Amino acid sequence: MKIRGLILLIILKTFTCCQNDDACTDRILNTASLESEYGCANTKYQMEIDLVDEFTIIRSQSSFEALVTGSCQPQIDFSTYDLVIGKRSLSNGNTSIDYKLVEDCETGDQVLMVTFHQNDTTEAPNLTYHALIPKLGDEQGLSIAITIV
């Protein structure tokens, strides 16, 4: 009887030790903006960067000053943030832009989800979007997922 109990205990231990109790869950990270952190206004129209339907990551003040023009030129805390900035051509007017930053639990790479909320006006803007994100690691990847609603 003791041997059967011991065998049963060994079998149970074998199966329970191999289960992964640490469920992998993607994390939502906080983002900030030049409006919220530095008081800039209307950056989707007032900030310019030489891009067409793409984005770049700016990691220093000197790069920011060389690449970005417009009325908003703050001293950004690049020890805390990286600036993700891009341009997007739209077929009609824009009401707002929302951002959600998600870090993949397995790879550590991040996806910035950018949602453009459109309206029925006939303007076809070429908007600048941006987010201040937590400083990326040297090997950490970032991609952009654009949604237009």
Tell me how far apart the alpha carbons of residues 138 and 121 are, in angstroms, rounded to a whole number.
42
| Other Cβ atoms within 10 Å of 55 Cβ, number | 20
Q: Residue 2 pLDDT > 60, yes or no?
A: no
| DSSP β-ladder status, 81-89 and 47-49 | unpaired
Q: Residue 9 pLDDT > 70, yes or no?
A: no
Tell me how far apart the alpha carbons of residues 48 and 40 are, in angstroms, rounded to a whole number.
13
Per the model's pLDDT, the better-predicted residue between 22 and 75 turns out to be 75
Looking at residue 148, its pLDDT comes to 96
Per the model's pLDDT, the better-predicted residue between 18 and 96 turns out to be 96
Cβ atoms of residues 29 and 133 within 8 Å? yes
Across the chain, what does the average pLDDT equal?
A: 89
Residues 70-103: tens digit of each pLDDT: 999 999 999 999 999 999 999 999 999 999 999 9
